[in-house]
Amino acid sequence: MLDGDSIVKGCIDEGALALIYGASNSGKTFLALDLALSVAAGQTWNGHGVRGGLVAYVAAEAGYRIQRRVRGWLDTRCGEQAEPPLVIVPRVVNLMHDVETVAFADFLTALASRAWWEQTIPAVRGRVT
């Protein structure tokens, strides 16, 4: 059972900053994507309970190429279920640049808006191929 502040029990709490680091080609992208999709789908992640919800995944290195991995994960883990609320940001977000940081924060705020979500997602749901 999750407490009120957990996104991933024992790993990530609401409002926390999480960092994945390691050597080149060590599986960081697969780990991050599995985590992000598990949260979006509300599925247990590596034995940890998850509070599901909207995820914005910044694919800084893979860009749109990440969509093939997403499709494979969804086909394997979700089957015929509705696709989870995942938005892929296919570019680097420079959080050291004030203007870009504010723009990204504004984007995330708009993304979290239920009205925006309900109006936009049905139109883009089929775009992940």
Taking the model in full, what pTM does it have?
A: 0.80
Report the pLDDT averaged over residues 19-41. Answer: 93
Report the pLDDT averaged over residues 108-112. Answer: 85
Distance CA 77, CA 72 (A): 8
Which amino acid is present at 61? E
Report the pLDDT averaged over residues 20-44. Answer: 93
Residue 50 has pLDDT above 90, yes or no: yes
Note the pLDDT of residue 115.
Answer: 54
Residue ranges per structural domain of the chain: 6-92
Distance CA 46, CA 68 (A): 22
Note the pLDDT of residue 128.
Answer: 39
Residue 53's pLDDT band, with cuts at 50, 70 and 90, is confident
